[in-house]
Amino acid sequence: MRAADVGRAITATTALTSELGFVVAEARIVGNSNKLGLRLLPCDVFARETVPTRVSNHVSRRDVVMNQET
């Protein structure tokens, strides 16, 4: 993920996670390639996010996948 998109992705992911009722005080980047992997603390949730990309004249949707660690 481009550096310019990382901050927005973290903000969006932490906001969404908080809206779902999880407490998020910190987001640690655990992977950054075409998807951004985040460990959200103290709720101990792993979130993976992609940014919208252009394909032809269409823009793909933003996906956020979250898995709560056990």
| All structural domains of the chain with their residue ranges | 3-68
For position 58, what pLDDT does the model report? 52
**pLDDT surpasses 90 at 41:** yes
Mean of pLDDT values over 53-69: 57
**H/E segment holding residue 19:** helix 3-19
**pLDDT surpasses 60 at 1:** yes
Cα separation, 70 vs 47, in Å, equals 14
Average pLDDT over the chain, rounded to whole?
A: 80
**pLDDT surpasses 70 at 63:** no
